[in-house]
Amino acid sequence: MKIAVVGGYGVGMTMRVPHFPAPGETVSGGDYAQGPGGKGSNQAIAAARLGADVSLLTAIGKDHLGDAAAALWAREGVGHEYVARVESSTMVGFILVDDDGENEIAIAPGALSRLTADHVEGFRKAIRDADILMVSMEIPLEAVGAALRIANEEGTTSLLNPAPAVPLPAEFWPWVDILTPNQSEAAQILGLPVTHNLSAAEIAEQLRSRTDAAVVMTLGSAGSAVFDGADFQQVEAFPPARVVDTTGAGDTFNAALAVAIADGEPLDRAARFANAAGAHAVTQAGVIDALPTREQIAAVMAI
């Protein structure tokens, strides 16, 4: 199966500190860690690890972080010949975490902000040849729209993971075949207040009032839900043995869902497979190390 991915790549630089520094204060005694991330890259690696033939479009800088990204994709079997290398720094996120677990984050998008509709047009053949296109929203909206439009023109199924959530331009909605928000993202897309009391089924109904796309909504520990406009179905969760790190669970879910759909599974069975993939991911620290193989997903589903 072939999967095309349009999304982000960046490097997370995390420092744990006793407390957040006040203006002008220097705080020492922290621990530092650095690792690759970005929803597009994570989803591409996850899909490749599940046996898909993956092509990735993102943008990275002509710097050592970009070199490390290319080496990572080569190791993981992700096709990256279309990746744009631009005259800007590779995206980085600086994360401070205090002793209470609270965090402060600053992001420098750098190269990722330079991804354009022209770059996506150059990716048209990969989209045309794919069984499914995955798009996430860390990239400029013009690139998101171009990817969805080209998939529609080429007859390729599109899966939009609307994260981070922003209002979608009206012209995008007809180009989306499968929409995969979590409940919070769905509410943001719809412009609902934080204090809304709508159920997952009611939120899915409102999404369907804007689009003909099938909605696959993640529900955290409650699993996921599928709504195709006719039937709303909640899909069982697989309670993990332990929860260590939830960071990459959403990317894992989306990649596994896309792989199962490309394999010809109906949405409910694809969502069940994706639930199991997410359940595995949260039992491991970090993102890349937590992305499962088919054997690991099968082990979760057998419990």
Task: Give strand ranges (E) for the chain.
Answer: 2-6, 10-16, 31-37, 53-57, 59-61, 78-79, 84-86, 92-97, 103-108, 132-136, 157-161, 178-179, 214-218, 224-227, 232-235
Looking at residue 155, the DSSP 8-state letter turns out to be T
Burial class for 213, CB neighbours closer than 10 Å (0-12, 13-18, 19+):
buried
Q: How many CB atoms lie within 10 A of CB 170?
A: 8
Q: What is d(CA 128, CA 116) in angstroms, rounded to the nearest whole number?
A: 18
Q: Which three-class secondary structure state does DSSP give residue 253? A: helix
Is 205 a known ligand-binding residue?
no
The dihedral sign for the CA sequence 84, 168, 253, 257: negative
Is 12 a known ligand-binding residue?
no
Q: Of the residues 31, 118, 251, 289, which is catalytic?
A: 251
Is 211 a known ligand-binding residue?
no
Known active-site residue 251: yes
Q: What is d(CA 286, CA 269) in angstroms, rounded to the nearest whole number?
A: 27
Is 278 a known ligand-binding residue?
no
Is 234 a known ligand-binding residue?
no
Is 284 a known ligand-binding residue?
yes
Is 281 a known ligand-binding residue?
yes
The tokens describing 176, both together, are 């989306």
Is 250 a known ligand-binding residue?
yes
Is 224 a known ligand-binding residue?
no
Is 188 a known ligand-binding residue?
no
Is 25 a known ligand-binding residue?
no
Residues within the annotated binding site for ATP?
182, 218-223, 250-251, 275
Q: List binding-site positions.
A: 38-42, 138, 182, 218-223, 245, 247, 250-251, 275, 281, 284, 286
Residues in binding site for substrate: 38-42, 138, 251
Which residues does the annotation place in the binding site for K(+)?
A: 245, 247, 281, 284, 286
Q: Which residues are catalytic?
A: 251
